[in-house]
Chains A and B, each alone.
Chain A
C-alpha cells in the first residue's frame, strides 16, 4: 500500500508541470484530490525548519493576551513530520516542551515535558477538536496537514482580493474531528491556502482562518507569517505571527527524542 501510494505521489509530482491545470474530464473528487496532492508536494523536501511563533488571543471584549513559542520540525520519509514545540510564555509554562511524531493515518505520538517536575509524560493525541492553549486553534488545526486526513472535492475557481484561487471542500476522515467540513481557498498558481472556513458538527460556520504575508524561501517554499483565526460564534480571535523562519538547520532524528525534550530551554 505504502509503495503504491509513493508511486502515485511520485507520478503526480514528476508529471505535475506537464499536467498543469489539466484536470479535464476529472470528477470533482478526483480533481480536488489531485490539486491537494499537488499542493502537498510543493511543501515536500524542506528537510527541516525552525521558527518563532507569537500567538495573540483576543476575547470578545477586545482584551488581548499572548503566548510565545518556538517550533522545530523535520520531514520523515513516508510519514508525518516530527516536531518540537517549546513554550516561552506565559511565564508559568516557560520551559514546557511538546514532542510530536505525527503520522499520516494513525494517531500521532506525543510527549510533554513538565519542567517543574522534570517529568516527561506520554500524552494521548486523541484530542483533535479541543483548543490549543486556550486559543481559537484546535489541535487538529495545528497538526501536520496530510492529504490523507481528508476527503477532497473541487468546488470552483474564484477570485478573492484579485487573486485566482481554487475552492476545495475537504471532509475530515477522523471521526474525532470537530468539523463536518472545511472550505479551502488555495492560491491557483502557488497552491498555498489563503482562507479556510470551518464548519462545526452542527454544520454551521464556526471559524474562518485567513493566511497572509506569504514569503518565498529557498525559491521553493511559500510560508505564511500571519494566520488569523476568527470564531464567528463567540467573537473571539487568535492571530499567529511567525518570525525567524529558517530552513536547513541540519536537524535530524537525534533532535527529536525524549532526551532532547528534557534539555531544551
Chain B
C-alpha cells in the first residue's frame, strides 16, 4: 500500500508533458472441436477490457495498464490483472523503474526460454505470450560495452489455472489454495536478475541470470476427502540464459539457450534455435512471405511428474499482405519426438480505423488415446479450438 501511495504521490507532483488514455475492448468466442474430457462445453465466450493510461513528465513516465476479462464458461478465467503500474525516470545513460511492469527477453518466435521475469498468464491464452504484471525495481545502465539491467523482484505472482468448468485442465483440478513454496519466504522471497545486452553490428546478444522462485510450478497430488487435487509447488532456481540474433540481409538467425538449476537439483539445459527467412514484395505484389523454422531441445526427457519433455520442431510461414488493413496470416506446424502435431493459425485484419478482427486456431492431432504418458499434450488433446476475436481500439 505504501508503495502505491508513493506512486500516486509521484504521479501528482510530476509535471505532465503529455498524458493519454488508450487501449482496447474485445469480445472473443472460442469454439472447441470436441466436448471436454470432464464434460466441459464446446463454446466459450468472453469479454475483455484493457485500458492504458500514461503520463509523460520531464525525463519520467508513469504508466498504468489494467486488464479484466469476464468469461461465461470458466469462473477462473473471469479475472483481472494490473499489467503495469510503474514510474520510470531516466538520464542520459541510465533508467530506473519502480512498480509493476513487464520485461521481455529473447528472440525466438515459438518458445520463450530466456524470458523469465514475468509469470505467464495461462488463463488468457495457451501460447505463453500473455504475462502477469511483476512488481519490480529495475536499474539500467547504458554503456559503450552494452546495457546492463539489474532487477529486484520483491513479490512473486502465482500462475493461475482453468477452473472446473474450464478447458485446458488436467483430469485433476489444480487448486492454488494449496500452493507451497520451497522457500520459507513463500511469495515474498526476494528474487533478483541481471542482464547484459549489446548490439555488435548485425548481432544482438543478451546474457542473463535469474535467481529466485521458479515461474513454472511442479504439481503434487493431494487427497482432499474423496477428491484428488493438484497442488502447485514452486521451487527456488537459478537460470542462466543466452539469446543471440544475427540479422543478415533477409535472414534472421536466432538462438536462445538456458541452463536451469532445476527442481530438486536436477540441472537441465534447453535451447531453441532456428531462422526466419523473408521474401519481401513477392512478385511485386507488396506481400511479404516469411519462412520460420525453429527447433527446441530439452535434455530432461521427463519432468518430475513423469510427463515427457520432448524436443520439437516448428515449421511456420508468415504472410504480411502490407495492405491498408494490415492483413496478416501466421501458420505453424509443430511436431515433437512422439510425432504429435500441433497446428497454429493466427490471422488478423483491421476493419476501418478502430476495429480489428483476429482468427486463431490451435489444433492438436496424432496423440495416442491409449498412451496417456507418451505425450505432453495428452490432457489437452481434446481441447483443439478455433477462436474469433473482435476488438475495438481507442
Q: Report which A residues bind B (CB closer than 8 A).
A: 57, 59, 65-66, 89-95, 107, 109, 117-120, 122-124, 126-131, 133-134, 138, 176, 178, 200-201, 254, 257-259, 263, 265
Whether B245 is near chain A, meaning CB under 8 Å from some CB there, is yes
Asked whether, in the complex, the Cβ of B325 is within 8 Å of the Cβ of A95, the reply is no
Whether B356 is near chain A, meaning CB under 8 Å from some CB there, is yes
A107 to B251, CA, bound (A): 13
Q: Among B37-45, B278-286, B363-371, which stretch is in contact with chain A?
A: B278-286
Whether B142 is near chain A, meaning CB under 8 Å from some CB there, is yes
Asked whether, in the complex, the Cβ of A131 is within 8 Å of the Cβ of B286, the reply is yes
Which of B80-110 touch A at CB < 8 Å? Answer: 88, 90, 92-93, 95, 102-104, 107
Which of B336-394 touch A at CB < 8 Å? Answer: 350, 352-354, 356, 391, 393-394
A207 to B323, CA, bound (A): 17
Q: A107-B249, A254-B92 are in contact. Are A57 and B324 (CB under 8 A)?
A: yes
Q: Report which B residues bind A (CB closer than 8 A).
A: 18, 20, 22, 24, 54, 56, 61, 88, 90, 92-93, 95, 102-104, 107, 129, 140, 142, 147, 199, 204, 245, 247, 249-252, 278, 280-281, 284, 286, 288, 322-326, 350, 352-354, 356, 391, 393-394
Asked whether, in the complex, the Cβ of A124 is within 8 Å of the Cβ of B325, the reply is no
CB distance from B113 to the nearest CB of A (A): 15
CB distance from A136 to the nearest CB of B (A): 10
- CB-CB < 8 A to A257: which residues of B? 142
Closest to B97 in A: A263
Asked whether, in the complex, the Cβ of B142 is within 8 Å of the Cβ of A265, the reply is no
Asked whether, in the complex, the Cβ of B353 is within 8 Å of the Cβ of A265, the reply is no
* Listed A/B pairs (9) with beta-carbon separation below 8 Å: A57-B324, A91-B354, A124-B252, A128-B281, A131-B286, A134-B323, A259-B95, A263-B88, A265-B20
Closest to B356 in A: A92
List 7 A-B pairs, minimum CB-CB distance, nearest first. A91-B393, A127-B280, A130-B281, A134-B324, A119-B104, A129-B281, A92-B393
Asked whether, in the complex, the Cβ of A92 is within 8 Å of the Cβ of B281, the reply is no
- CB-CB < 8 A to B24: which residues of A? 91-92
Asked whether, in the complex, the Cβ of A130 is within 8 Å of the Cβ of B288, the reply is yes
Q: 12 additional contacts, CB 8 Å, given A122-B204, A257-B142?
A: A59-B324, A89-B353, A117-B104, A118-B103, A124-B251, A128-B280, A129-B281, A133-B322, A178-B284, A254-B93, A259-B90, A265-B61
Q: Which of B54, B95, B129, B322 contacts A265 (CB 8 A)?
A: B54
A254 to B94, CA, bound (A): 10
A127 to B286, CA, bound (A): 10
CB distance from A218 to the nearest CB of B (A): 25
Residue among B147, B247, B326, B350 with most chain A CB within 10 A: B247
Q: A117-B129, A263-B88 are in contact. Are A126 and B324 (CB under 8 A)?
A: no
Asked whether, in the complex, the Cβ of A129 is within 8 Å of the Cβ of B129, the reply is no
Q: Which of A57, A65, A66, A126 contacts B280 (CB 8 A)?
A: A126
Asked whether, in the complex, the Cβ of A127 is within 8 Å of the Cβ of B278, the reply is yes
Q: Which of B199, B204, B353 contacts A91 (CB 8 A)?
A: B353
